[in-house]
Amino acid sequence: MADFDDLMSANRTFAKDFRYGGFDGVAAAGVALVTCMDSRIDPLGMIGLVPGDAKIFRNPGGRVTPQALEALVLGVHLLNVQRVLVVPHTRCAVASNSEAELRERVAASAGQDASWQQFHVVEDQVAALAEDVAKVRSHPLVPDSVLVGGFLYDVDSGLLEQKV
Ligand SMILES: [Zn+2]
């Protein structure tokens, strides 16, 4: 169990002045964000929010997957979400490699065949973003009153640019 000692110790420090006990888990700022798993992204900080403000769904590429849509429908109807941001980013691994390249790199790391593993690479990031935003806007359980925007996050400048 020692493998996680550093993180568990940090957690005890974190819990000492924990301020979110009893909070009901709604998005206090009415925001939901779908973005990439990339460690260069601070999804709350980049839009001036703090814990408690937003529902956040992350995956490789920041794609609107079926699970992301589930999250957004729950967010909109049960958790106070009124605005949705879909946020892929520059220099994303799934948008700058081909499926074959990612499989080769994973295979080299794993020392075994990875040709069966899907990574859902993106050929055209802005086109994929437009499709993803359309999926949210056209979802039968997402009312027109919900604002949905597609943005590209620049991991080198920290700036968001609205594309859709
Ligand atoms: Zn990424």
What CATH number corresponds to the domain at position 62? 3.40.1050.10
Give domain status of residue 40, yes or no: yes
Using pLDDT thresholds of 50, 70 and 90, give the confidence band for residue 75.
Answer: very high
Identify any residues that bridge with 83 across adjacent strands, giving them in sequence order: 31, 147
Q: What tokens appear for 19 in the block? A: 């301020």
Cα 87 to averaged position of ligand 1 atoms, centre (Å): 10
Q: Calculate how far, in angstroms, residue 8's C-alpha sits from the geometric centre of ligand 1.
A: 27
On whether residue 5 sits in a domain, the answer given is no
- CA atoms of 65 and 149, how far apart (whole Å): 16
Q: Decide if 157 is inside a domain.
A: no
Give the separation between CA 145 and CA 85, rounded to whole angstroms. Answer: 14
CA 16 to ligand 1 centroid distance, Å: 33
The 3-state DSSP composition of the chain as helix, strand, coil percent (nearest 5) reads: 35, 15, 45
- Give me the residues paired with residue 149 across strands: 85
Sign of CA dihedral 146, 124, 65, 39: negative
Count structural domains, the chain.
1
Task: Give a yes or no: residue 76 inside a domain.
Answer: yes
Is 34 within a domain? yes
pTM of the model: 0.95
Task: Answer whether residue 16 is part of any domain.
Answer: no
Q: pLDDT, tens digit, for every residue of 34-57? A: 999 999 999 999 999 999 999 999
* 82: in domain: yes
- C-alpha–C-alpha distance, residues 148 and 131, integer Å: 12
In a domain, 147, yes or no: yes
Structural domain of residue 115, as residue ranges? 24-152
Average pLDDT over residues 6-31: 94
